[in-house]
Amino acid sequence: MMSPLIEPALDEARVEAETRRIGREIFAGRDRLRAGWSGLAHERLGESIMEMVMGDEELRHGLLRFVDAFPALHSSDQIARHFEEYLAPEGKLSAGMAAAFHQLAHLLGRTHWLSRYPVAWSSRRAIRLLARRFIAGNTPEHAAARLNEHQQHGFMFSVDLLGELVVSESEADAYQCRYLEMIEQLGQWVPPPADPAGRVFGPHINISIKLSSLTARFDPIDVNGTAAAVMRRVVPLLEAARDNDVFINIDMEHFTYRDLTLEIIRRLLETESLRGWDGIGMVAQAYLRDAETSLESMLEWLRDHNQPMTIRLVKGAYWDSEVLWASQRGWPAPVLSVKRHTDAQYERMTRRLLAEHAFVRTAIASHNVRSIAHALALANEMRVPQSQFELQMLYGMSGALGRALVSMGRRVRIYTPCGEPIAGMAYLVRRILENTSNESFLRQASHAGDEERLLADPKETRL
Amino acid sequence: MNDVDGSQLPGFANEPHLDFSRAESRDAFADALAHVQAKLPLNEPLVINGRRIETSERIKILSPSDVSLVVGESACAGQAETELAIDAAEKAFHDWAATSAAERANLLLKVAEITRVRRLELAAIEVFECAKPWREADADICEAIDFMEYYAREMLRLGEPLRLQPDVLGEKNELVRLPLGVVAVIGPWNFPLAIPVGMMSAALVAGNTIVWKPARQSPLILGEMMRIFEEAGVSEGVINYLPGLGETAGRMLVESPRVHMIAFTGSREVGLSILRAAGKVPAGQRFVKRMVVEMGGKNAMIVDASADIDAALGDILVSAFGYSGQKCSALSRLIVHESIADELIKRFRDAVDSLKIAPAWDPGCQVNALIDNDARVRVERAIELGCRDGSAIYIGNLGEFENRGHYVAPAIFEGLPKDHELVRQEIFGPVVIVLRARTFEEAIEIANDSDYGLTGGVFSRTPSNLELARREMQCGNLYLNRAITGAIVGRQPFGGMKLSGIGDKAGGPGYLQQFMTSRAISENLMRHGYAPVKQT
pLDDT digits (tens, 9 = 90+) for B112-121: 999 999 999 9
E-strand ranges in A53-92 read: none
Instruction: Tell me the pLDDT of chain B averaged across its residues.
Output: 96
Give the per-residue pLDDT at A41.
61
Query: Phi-psi region for residue A265, left (φ > 0), alpha (ψ -120 to 50) or beta?
Result: alpha
Of B81, B126, B143, B294, catalytic: B294
Give the per-residue pLDDT at B4.
62
How far from the centroid of its chain's Cα atoms is residue A262's Cα? 19
Percentage of chain B lying above the pLDDT 70 cut: 98
Active site residue B328: yes
Omega prior to B243 cis, within 30 of 0: no
Closest CA to B61 of B218, B243, B241: B218
Task: Look at B26 and A168 and tell me if their CB atoms are within 8 Å.
Answer: no
Contact A104, A122 (CB under 8 A): yes
| Rounded Cα gap, residues A183 and A207, in angstroms | 8
Contact A445, A370 (CB under 8 A): no
Size of interface A-B (CB pairs under 8 A): 102
Per-state percent for chain A, helix, strand, coil, to nearest 5: 55, 10, 35
Cβ neighbours of B463 in A, within 8 Å? 85-86, 89
Give the per-residue pLDDT at B26.
98
Active site residue B294: yes
Give the per-residue pLDDT at A99.
63
| Rounded Cα gap, residues B536 and B534, in angstroms | 6
Number of H helices, E strands in chain B: 15, 23
- Complex ipTM tops 0.85: yes
A328-336 long-range CB contacts below 8 Å, 24 or more apart? A329/B16, A329/B17, A329/B19, A330/B13, A330/B14, A330/B15, A330/B16, A330/B17, A331/B16, A331/B19, A332/A289, A333/A289, A334/A255, A334/A288, A334/A289, A334/A290, A335/A255, A335/A287, A335/A288, A335/A289, A336/A287, A336/A288, A336/A289
Number of H helices, E strands in chain A: 18, 8
Closest-CA distance of chain B to residue A60, Å: 16
- The arithmetic mean of pLDDT across residues B14-32, rounded, is 98
What is the Cα Rg of chain A in Å? 22
- The arithmetic mean of pLDDT across residues B244-270, rounded, is 96
| Rounded Cα gap, residues A386 and A414, in angstroms | 18
Residues 6+ apart with CB under 8 A from B113: none
| Rounded Cα gap, residues B502 and B513, in angstroms | 14
In DSSP notation, A16-50 reads HHHHHHHHHHHHHHHHHHHHT----HHHHHHHHHH
B17 touches chain A (CB under 8 A): yes
Numbered ranges of CATH 3.40.309.10 in chain B: 299-480
Q: Which amino acid belongs to residue A380?
A: N
| β partners of residue B240 | B211
Beta-sheet strand order (sheet of B162-163): B162-163, B171-179, B516-524
- DSSP annotation of A335 reads B
Q: What is the dihedral of CA B14, B19, B20, B26, to 10 degrees?
A: -90
User: Where is pLDDT greater, at B446 or A400?
Assistant: B446
Q: For residue B1, what pLDDT band results from cuts at 50, 70 and 90?
A: very low
How far from the centroid of its chain's Cα atoms is residue B512's Cα? 15
| Rounded Cα gap, residues A202 and A279, in angstroms | 8
| Rounded Cα gap, residues A356 and A371, in angstroms | 18
Give pLDDT tens digits for B464-516: 999 999 999 999 999 999 999 999 999 999 999 999 999 999 999 999 999 99
Cβ neighbours of A78 in B, within 8 Å? 305-306
Q: Minimal Cα distance from A64: which residue of B?
A: B461
- The arithmetic mean of pLDDT across residues B243-260, rounded, is 96
Task: Look at A259 and B22 and tell me if their CB atoms are within 8 Å.
Answer: yes
Numbered ranges of CATH 3.40.605.10 in chain B: 27-295+500-520
- The arithmetic mean of pLDDT across residues B241-251, rounded, is 96
Give pLDDT tens digits for A184-212: 999 999 998 876 555 567 789 999 999 99
Contact A208, B350 (CB under 8 A): no
Cβ neighbours of A170 in B, within 8 Å? 350, 353-354
Give the per-residue pLDDT at A46.
66
Closest-CA distance of chain A to residue B351, Å: 4
- DSSP annotation of B503 reads S
A256 touches chain B (CB under 8 A): yes
E-strand ranges in B23-130 read: 42-44, 46-48, 51-53, 58-63, 66-75
Closest-CA distance of chain B to residue A70, Å: 8
| Rounded Cα gap, residues B194 and B207, in angstroms | 20
B436-446 burial: b if 16+ Cβ within 10 Å, else e: bbeebebbbeb
CB atoms within 10 A of CB B56: 7
B310 touches chain A (CB under 8 A): yes
B299-480: CATH, from 3.30.360.10, 1.10.10.60, 3.40.309.10, 3.90.180.10: 3.40.309.10
Cβ neighbours of B23 in A, within 8 Å? 259
Closest CA to B515 of B12, B9, B104: B104
Tens-level pLDDT at each residue, chain A (463 residues): 444 455 667 899 999 999 999 999 999 999 898 876 666 666 666 667 777 777 778 878 888 888 888 888 888 888 888 888 888 776 556 565 566 566 655 655 554 445 556 677 777 777 787 788 889 988 888 899 999 999 999 999 999 998 889 999 999 999 999 999 999 999 999 998 876 555 567 789 999 999 999 999 999 999 999 999 999 999 999 999 999 999 999 999 999 999 999 999 999 999 999 999 999 999 999 999 999 999 999 999 999 999 999 999 999 999 999 999 999 999 999 999 999 999 999 999 999 999 999 999 999 999 999 999 999 999 999 999 989 999 999 998 888 899 999 999 999 999 999 988 667 777 888 888 887 876 777 777 766 668 888 999 998 754 4
Closest-CA distance of chain A to residue B95, Å: 39
Q: What is the CATH superfamily name and number for domain B27-295+500-520? A: Aldehyde Dehydrogenase; Chain A, domain 1 (3.40.605.10)
Of B328, B365, B414, B426, catalytic: B328
Closest CA to A456 of A435, A438, A441, A437: A441
Interface test with A, best of B21, B440, B466 (most A CBs within 10 A): B21
- The arithmetic mean of pLDDT across residues B214-219, rounded, is 98
Q: Is A190 exposed, middle or buried (0-12, 13-18, 19+ CB in 10 A)?
A: buried
Cβ neighbours of B137 in A, within 8 Å? none
Cβ neighbours of A74 in B, within 8 Å? 305, 339
